[in-house]
Structure 1
Amino acid sequence: MTGVPGATGEGGPLVDEAAPRPVVRSEVLHRGRIADLVRDDVDLGDAGTVTREYVVHPGAVAIVALDDADRVLLLRQYRHPVRARLWEVPAGLLDVDGEPAVDAAARELAEEADVTARRWQVLADFASSPGSSDEAVRVFLARDLGEVSATERHTRTGEEAGIEVRWVPLDEAVARVLDGSLHNPSAVVGVLAAAASRAGGWASLRPADAPWPSRPRA
């Protein structure tokens, strides 16, 4: 790679940075049950003003639940926009005002899979589709697992009523991501991040309350 511009890492640390541009006009095109569609006129300075339409989203959490046998919990449910039943990790919206992300993750794990966890750490953060949405997702690693008692289990409705649960060896889940069998972004990111972190002795894990500056404001 010698001689390729940028190949040696010049230009400072390799880290995303917040760099908002002035919005000279903003319009809500549609208010939805979960997300809104917004149109902004954005001042890019010398590049002029551009118009961008995007989805404003409350953000989400996802959970890689790993048991003592190194198996990851996967759920299969129907996703109407892609007309498919996808294998996913448990996940859910940050739709409770002021709720810590780890508390939302614990709630979603219990509601979707009847599973509890005593140990929580951050695996990865990602923007699901930064060209068309402001959605930010935090992926947690959950370990020291248990079961929700039968009397406290959540009644699942809609697509969640048909959830199928499977415990899959982490290495098999990695293989299914790499051969194109799994497509859900939280599952892809979470499974690969868990495998990479495990290979490094879990040294990359962050505390459950680690800073998350890209979390949507509301």
Structure 2
Amino acid sequence: MTSGDEGPLADELVDRLVLQRETVHAGMVWDVVREQVDLGDAGVVTREFVAHTGAVGCVALDDQGRVLLLQQYRHPTRILDWELPAGLLDVAGEPPWEAASRELYEEADLRADTWHVLADWQNSPGGSSENWRCFLARGLSAVADEERFVREHEEADIVVRWVPLQGAVDAVLAGRLHNACTVAGVLAAHAASQQGWATLRPYDAPWPEHPAYR
């Protein structure tokens, strides 16, 4: 073990040599792959993980300081959870901010005039290649009734709730909200608000951690 006390605190992209790769399971949305990786002095290891397209979402904040949360059923956890407007990066060539805007439109019937990058994260880097980017969306306006997206499946029964940002933070810290993106996004928005939003990045800030945007 070596000390990591020097230099800026930042994750580092490293390209280890992949000796072999196979698809263990080709899924409906994402695959499970197995790779044999050369770690150098640490030897050769085999790892299985979910090959994920990545996802985006947004903290939609209105002019009263309230954040929009959407409740929908998630079958793997058997929970009606409260989530940010979000979705997969599954449209080829679509920029991340446009994907987040599309999800806000489709799931919440809203548009936003102002977009900033709030935070980036990886939900489970030991078992998934998923990269997640969360935006802050402000300057909100409702989509006209005749222009609204027709939702289906789990999204057909979405419940909408506007919550003061501090109230959402309190719910996270009390253990009443569990969706990882909701937890991370709400806490990041609160932290950024405490610094007068000075930490926000441009909507098109670099995102080299996601392979499609390097």
Partner residue of 2:90? Answer: 95
Matches within 5 A, 1:80-119: 80-119=75-114
Matches within 5 A, 1:39-188: 39-188=34-183
Q: Which residue in 2 is equivalent to 1:10?
A: 5
Shift of 1:10: 2.4
> Which residue of 192, 196, 199 maps to 1:197?
192
1:118-142 residue CA offsets vs partner (Å, 9 max, x unmatched): 0000000000110000000000000
| 1:217 counterpart SS class | helix
**Which ranges in structure 1 are unaligned for 5 or more consecutive residues?**
none
Residue 111 of structure 1, CA deviation? 0.3
Report deviation, 1:216.
3.6
Runs of 4+ in 1 over 2 A off after TM superposition: none
Task: Tell me the percent identity.
Answer: 59
User: What CA distance in whole angstroms lies between the structure 2 residues aligned with 1:29 and 1:128?
Assistant: 21
Compute the TM-score of the two structures, normalised by the length of structure 2: 0.96
Amino acid at match of 1:89: L
| Kept after mapping to 2: 8 A contact 1:171/1:195 | yes
CA–CA distance in structure 1, aligned partners of residues 51 and 116 of structure 2: 27
**Structure 1 Cα separation of the partners of residues 6 and 35 of structure 2:** 30
Q: Tell me the secondary structure at the aligned position of residue 37 of structure 2.
A: strand
Letter in 2 for 1:128: N
- Report the Cα offset of residue 217 of structure 1: 2.6
Q: How many residues align?
A: 212
Q: C-alpha root-mean-square deviation of aligned residues, in Å?
A: 1.3
Q: CA deviation at 1:21?
A: 1.0
For the residues of structure 1 that align with 2:187 and 2:105, how far apart are their CA atoms?
23
CA deviation digits over 1:69-92, x for unaligned, max 9?
000000000001111110011100
* Residues 16-71 of structure 1: per-residue CA shift (max 9 Å, x gap): 01012111111011111211100001111111111100000111001100000000
SS at match of 2:76: helix
2:33 matched to 1:38?
A: yes
Question: Which segment drifts farther, 71-80 or 26-35?
Answer: 26-35
5+ long unaligned stretches in structure 2? none
Structure-2 separation of matches of 1:123 and 1:66? 12
Give the AA of the match of 1:199. Answer: Q
| Matching residue's letter, 2:177 | L
